Structure 1
Amino acid sequence: MPQSDSQSLSIIQPDDWHLHLRDGDVLDSTVPQAAKQFGRAIIMPNLRPPVVTTKDAINYRQRILNALPKGAEFEPLMTLYLTDNTQPEEIRHARESGIVHGVKLYPAGATTNSDAGVTSLDNCIKTLEEMQKQGIPLLIHGEVTDPEIDIFDREAVFIDKVLIPLRKKLPNLKIVFEHITTKAAAEYVTEADGYIGATVTPHHLLFNRNSLFAGGIRPHYYCLPILKREENRQALIKAVTCKNARFFAGTDSAPHARNTKESSCGCAGCYTASHAIELYVKAFQEAGQLDKLEWFTSINGPKFYNLPVNRNKITLVKEKWQISEELPFGKDRVVPLMAGEFLDWKLK
């Protein structure tokens, strides 16, 4: 159980079950920031080119480890990027490697660097069957990409049109419904049978879609899946504070250089890796549920992935501090979520 008083809070070292670190020289910025917050992280594979083979994952993992500060303890848990051409044999290689912990489904065109994603799950059935056999989770970006579907409805439609039929075909396939944003998703994960879990980001716990337009368009609050109505945010808060083991922390921290966020591109992604645990604390404190934080950040995720809970602990102290206006991002700069604003708890 977490140890707390009015001025400090100690919990088991948390993990991030959905993290984007990018690649190249920016790893020297993103990896140290994530390692200060988390013991382990599921690393997203949507690079250019994407991480599609176990060999790719092994090489990417080494680049991440090379960027770790000396003495830092951080374990990257690698994933593969599912394509129409991913073969069952590759899944067997992934299992044998010991370093691949999931395969990521991006519906083609759903989000950043998803153009190589799956066009139809019918193209992947043999591979998904092998994943079910090997016990490798399918990590799903759960949105349909039909342009006729309203962007605020794409997650709910995905449940009916894709997720439910898939789970009927492969009832023993372990699935993580990534970065859920809706009441429909929270209720589905709570009530569904079988092997399903869900990650929830700090920004979807803290903000609704009004935040995108407070005082003008705010590109650093733009993410996919997009922020939703307040009733959906409240449903997520309810889900993560009830100690349901199916829900666990996944920041979906997704850095983009400042100039690409503040442009006609307006790339999707909120950068939270540098202060994610403080953001989660804010969400749980505002809900009056700080005693439930440790289950969500530190216990449920390892249990789902059949990994041991971390042995170390972290401590947060009651201290008002200001989030940086911007942070290093290789040769560029990245603007963190809530830049320039204040938080009441700080990682010691």
Structure 2
Amino acid sequence: MTSLTIRRPDDWHLHLRDGDMLRGVLPETARDFARAIIMPNLVPPVVTAKDAAAYRDRIMAALPKGSDFQPLMTLYLTETTDPADVAAAYADGLINAVKLYPAGATTNSASGVKDITAVMPVLEKMAQIGLPMCVHGEVTDADVDIFDREAVFIDTKLNPLRQRLPELRIVMEHVTTKDGIDYITAADQNLAGTITTHHLIINRNHLLVGGIKPHYYCLPVAKREEHRLALRKAATSGDSRFFLGTDSAPHTDPNKLCDCGCAGVFSATNTMACLAHVFEQDGALENLESFASLNGPAYYGLPVNDATLTLTKHDTAVNFPAKIETGEGPVTLFDPGFALFWSTS
């Protein structure tokens, strides 16, 4: 196959940052994607409807001329979040989800949730009105190994919450383990998972063997090969509970290449080319549209995009930029470690 046309894809987990960084990276997503769930972990975070409206306006102002990209806004869940504010924002069509960060789990998550019982009134209201909760599924306990944090979160946090509030619609974001895949697959309702581009391609050896590769460092961190293979199997299967969330997360090179480098992989520019490679390699190109364009809208209760995207395979490798220049500084693009032969139009 040398050409594949699919419904225009959406990104169900995206970091755009703000200011000069927002203006620098937004065109990379808007080129291929129609919509994206926008992460609220700014400094300060997007915690109220007023915050979300202002951030949406800044995104719209930064769009390239003629772009019809639509940001899907979220609120950052804190222990002081007002259930009435959340419900009003959802009723007004301002937000499409609320994001739960365990405090300290990832970039700009210090304002996150320490005690889930403190946010139960918000979660109960969300369950009542059908508003999805996106969750960064890791515990932050110092005595839990970083490679086990997702599995422990499922056992100690997520499963008890779902038993207590089965009506709550949950998206387990950036699943990185077979444990997460198996848990979602076993669920009969109200649970789905996003999978990133880079977690389909790299395992922890890519990060650590032969020297530390800072541009492969992300949270959740890449895991063993058995987990990567489980992610690949789920993503390419066509199972409607799994869909694309790139977790594309830009940091400038100086902030990645320092004594305490930031976690995040920037993949917006070449995600669709990487996915075409992965799905073709696994003999599942016919399921790429489901993963990238159909399953996410179905879970979020949104229409599928009318527009299409065409992927074309070339005889010679396609050149992608090594870095994206932004007003805040250079951002290195995810390197899959192999040549890419697909482009989009």
* Structure 2 spans left out of the alignment, 5+ residues: none
Which position in structure 2 is the counterpart of 1:323? 320
Task: Give per-residue Cα distances to partners, 1:105-142, cap 9 Å, x unaligned.
Answer: 00000000000000110110111100111111010000
Aligned pairs for 1:134-283 (under 5 A) are 134-283=129-278
- C-alpha distance in 1, partners of 2:137/2:85? 23
Cα distance between partner residues in 2 of 1:325 and 1:341: 13
Name the residue aligned to 1:332: 329
* Match for residue 65 of structure 1 among 37, 60, 64: 60
Counterpart residue number, 1:22: 17
How many Å apart are 1:342 and its aligned residue?
A: 2.8
Q: Alignment partner of 1:37: what SS? A: coil
CA distance in 2 between counterparts of 1:83 and 1:287 reads 41
* Partner residue, 1:45: 40
Q: 1:341 to 1:231 in 2, by over 3 A?
A: closer
| CA distance 1:208–1:340, change in 2 (3 Å) | closer
CA contact (8 A) 1:79 1:104 kept: yes
Match of residue 345 from structure 1 = 342
- 1:162-187 deviations in whole A, cap 9, x for unaligned? 00000011100000000000001001
CA apart distance, 1:322: 2.5
Q: How far apart, in 2, do the equivalents of 1:97 and 1:48 lie?
A: 25
Q: How far apart are the structure 1 equivalents of 2:198 and 2:228?
A: 10
Q: TM-score with structure 1 length normalisation?
A: 0.96
Distance 1:321 1:90, change over 3 A: same
Could you list the runs of 4 or more consecutive aligned residues of structure 1 that deviate by over 4 angstroms after TM superposition?
none
Residue type matched to 2:218 in 1? C
Secondary structure of 1:188's match? helix
Which residue identity does 1:162 align to in structure 2?
Answer: K
CA deviation string 1:319-346 (max 9, x = no partner):
2212312111223110011089631111
**Residues 325 and 46 (structure 1), Cα distance of their counterparts in 2 relative to 1, 3 Å cut:** same
CA distance 1:154–1:340, change in 2 (3 Å): closer
CA distance in 2, matches of 1:282, 1:264: 34
**Alpha carbons 2:274, 2:336 under 8 Å: kept:** no
Q: What residue in structure 2 maps to residue 110 of structure 1?
A: 105
**Do the aligned partners of 1:19 and 1:43 also contact (CA within 8 Å) in 2?**
yes
Secondary structure of the residue that 1:199 maps to in structure 2? strand
> Normalising by the residue count of structure 2, what TM-score does the alignment of the two structures yield?
0.97
How many residues get paired?
343
The separation in 2 between residues aligned to 1:121 and 1:45, in whole angstroms, is 19
The whole-number CA distance in structure 1 between the counterparts of 2:216 and 2:110 is 23
8 Å CA contact 2:199–2:228 kept in 1: the answer is: yes
Partner of 1:80: 75
**Change beyond 3 A, Cα 1:170–1:340:** closer
Q: Is the 8 A contact 2:202 2:336 kept in 1?
A: no
Q: How does 1:296-307 map to 2 (within 5 A)?
A: 296-307=291-302
Question: For residues 258 and 339 of structure 1, what CA distance do their matches in structure 2 show?
Answer: 18
Identity between Structure 1 and Structure 2 (%): 52
1:316 deviation in Å? 1.2
Distance across 2 between alignment mates of 1:188 and 1:331: 40
- The alignment partner of 1:52 has SS state of coil
Distance 1:328 1:88 in 2: 40
Residues 41-69 of structure 1 show CA distances to partners (whole Å, capped at 9, x for unaligned) of 00000000000001100110010000111
What residue in structure 1 maps to residue 91 of structure 2? 96
Which runs of no fewer than 5 residues in structure 1 stay unpaired? 1-5
Are the equivalent residues in 2 in contact too, given 1:179–1:199 (CA < 8 A)? yes
In the TM superposition, residue 94 of structure 1 has moved relative to its aligned partner by 1.5
Quote the Cα distance in structure 2 between the aligned partners of 1:193 and 1:288: 28
Alignment partners' CA distance in 2, 1:54 and 1:186? 33
- Which amino acid is 1:63 matched to? R
- Alpha-carbon distance in structure 2 between the residues aligned to 1:298 and 1:81: 25
